[in-house]
């Protein structure tokens, strides 16, 4: 499947096999991805603010250009997933760490 410029706020992708799904320039705020197979999905310029990923298979997924993501690495499958360095705060938020850019 391919979603392009879609408003998918509060959408639920629970229990859906979305392998190789493309989300391009989508608003996925507050969407839920629970026990979902999303291997090799591409999230291009997506707003993932408030999205919930739990036990989600994101192996090989490309999340490098998405924003607003908060994701717990130990509660998801992330081998080979691509993230931007700017995603670090969202990946480390549960630990209360402060990530700063060097000047």
> How does pLDDT run across 58-103, given as a tens digit for each residue?
888 888 999 888 889 999 988 889 999 888 888 998 899 888 878 7
Contact call for residues 71 and 92 (beta carbons, < 8 A) = no
Q: Give the fold, CATH level 3, of 1-103.
A: Pectate Lyase C-like (2.160.20)
Token pair for residue 53? 């990923």
Bridge partners for 47 per DSSP? 27, 67
pLDDT tens for 16-33 read 888 888 999 999 898 988
Contacts 24+ apart (CB under 8 A), 17-24: none
Query: pLDDT band at residue 8, thresholds of 50, 70 and 90?
Result: very high
Token pair for residue 23? 């989300």
**Cα–Cα distance measured from residue 97 to residue 80, given in angstroms and rounded to the nearest whole number:** 23
Contact call for residues 66 and 46 (beta carbons, < 8 A) = yes
pLDDT at 7 over 90: yes
The pTM assigned to this predicted structure is 0.79
């Amino acid at each position: 499947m391919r979603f392009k410029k879609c408003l998918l706020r509060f959408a639920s992708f629970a229990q859906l096999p979305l392998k190789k799904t493309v989300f391009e320039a989508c608003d996925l705020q507050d969407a839920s991805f629970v026990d979902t197979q999303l291997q090799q999905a591409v999230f291009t310029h997506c707003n993932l603010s408030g999205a919930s990923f739990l036990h989600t298979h994101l192996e090989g997924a490309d999340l490098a250009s998405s924003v607003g993501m908060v994701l717990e690495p130990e509660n998801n499958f992330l081998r080979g997933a691509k993230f931007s360095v700017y995603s670090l705060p969202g990946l480390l938020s549960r630990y209360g760490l402060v990530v700063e850019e060097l000047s």
